[in-house]
Homo-oligomer: A and B are copies of this chain.
Amino acid sequence: MLTHSEAFALLNRSDNILILTHRNPDGDAVGSMFALYYLLKNLGKTVRCIIDDVSKSLSFPMAKDAFGDFEPDFIVTVDVADNKLLTNDTLALYGERVDLAIDHHAANKPFSKELLLDSTAAAACEVLYDMIKQAGLEITPDMANSLYLGISTDTGCFRYPNTTARTLLAASELVSAGADNGEINRIVFETKTREYVHFEALAMNSLKTYYDGKCAVLVLRQDMFRKTGVSEEDTHGIAALPRQIEGVLVGIVIKERTDGTYKISMRTNDPVCASDICAVFGGGGHRLAAGCELSGTESEVVSAVLKAVGEELGAI
């Protein structure tokens, strides 16, 4: 395991660097990828990125010239807890060749030559922020906007209990360095399309509770996406809704994919550990926010997840 300054030294003596992040990219994936991109470009490196489809509201940090054919000499991943979370294409090409992984997931499964892991950081962007600060480098407005995006999205805009005094101090310094927090928050947290408002209402109608109201489940079906015109990558925010209901310890969103598999997003309140439950199905994440994937019919998937939740709740 590297220190922040060792990781920076390794990046600083490399060139022709390829940055990868996990599939189904969230704000921290996009933000940490482009914060690192701008940092390395400013250091005179040649850098390219590979990223899956990004929700429009999270795409503002992306540099157009960051993409294109490239033979890398050094490969770095950001916010990737396990190389299985890379896209299939990227996994096949680069999955076994990663030189450095920069991450903040306690459940990280090492897959790279070197690892910079700080599981006390709220976001991969907080790890990068610390690395940049310790290296004594200036944070440009592009870097500040990217880092702010990752930190704000991974903390639910500073709502979630992973938000520490350090996280808020980093956010303060990023705003001083030029992060346009008001505008980013407006785009990411305060803007819903009419279609999304419709989608959310449909989804909330599917809400069911189990185990005396301790577990709430929303199912997002393909027909809801079709009916409203909302795309899957625009529904990250919905994962937070079931846990918001009073008395709920385990909030679950089960998303039907086009290939018939299901993606499970789980948010828990203390003392329930989300990553323990998701680990039953080969998934992972954080103590209060984790995910996994299942195959089967909808009712099989719901039953399997509820059984694991019940075992964790000690209710069965």
Contacts and interface: CB of A to CB of B under 8 A. Distances in A.
A147 B289 CA distance: 28
A296 interface: no
Given A165-B176, A244-B191, A171 B159 contact: no
Given A157-B157, A158-B157, A158-B171, A243 B190 contact: yes
A182 B158 contact: no
Interface in A139-178: 156-169, 171-173, 175-176
Contacts of A107: none
Contacts of A165: 172-173, 175-176
A181 interface: yes
Contacts of A67: none
Interface residues of A, number: 40
Nearest to A57: B246
A224 B31 CA distance: 42
Given A186-B161, A191-B244, A172 B175 contact: no
Contact of A193 (B161, B162, B191, B245): B245
Nearest to A195: B246
A228 interface: no
A192 interface: yes
A168 B172 contact: yes
A141 to B, nearest CB: 13
Interface in A261-307: 269
Nearest to A163: B181
A191 B171 CA distance: 25
A164 B160 CA distance: 20
Nearest to A169: B172
A201 interface: yes
B244 A190 contact: yes
A13 B19 CA distance: 61
Contacts of A164: 175
B190 A159 contact: yes
A192 B189 CA distance: 18
B175 A160 contact: no
Contacts of A181: 158, 161, 163
Nearest to A159: B185
A182 B161 contact: yes
Interface string A195-210: 0010001001001000
Nearest 5 CB-CB pairs, A to B? Answer: A161-B182, A168-B172, A165-B175, A169-B172, A165-B176
